[in-house]
Amino acid sequence: RKRVHHKNRNKVDQSPPDLIRKLTESAVLTCSHSDQGFELILWYKRSDDKGLIFLEFMDKIVMSGNGNSNGLFTIKNLASSDSAVYFCAAC
What pLDDT score was predicted for residue 69?
84
Domain count, the chain: 1
pLDDT in tens, 9-58: 568 889 999 999 999 999 999 999 888 888 888 999 998 888 899 998 77
Q: What angle do CA 57, 53, 48 make, to 5 degrees?
A: 130
The CATH number given to whatever domain includes residue 63 is: 2.60.40.10
pLDDT in tens, 58-90: 789 999 888 778 899 999 999 999 999 999 988
Domain housing 53: 2-90
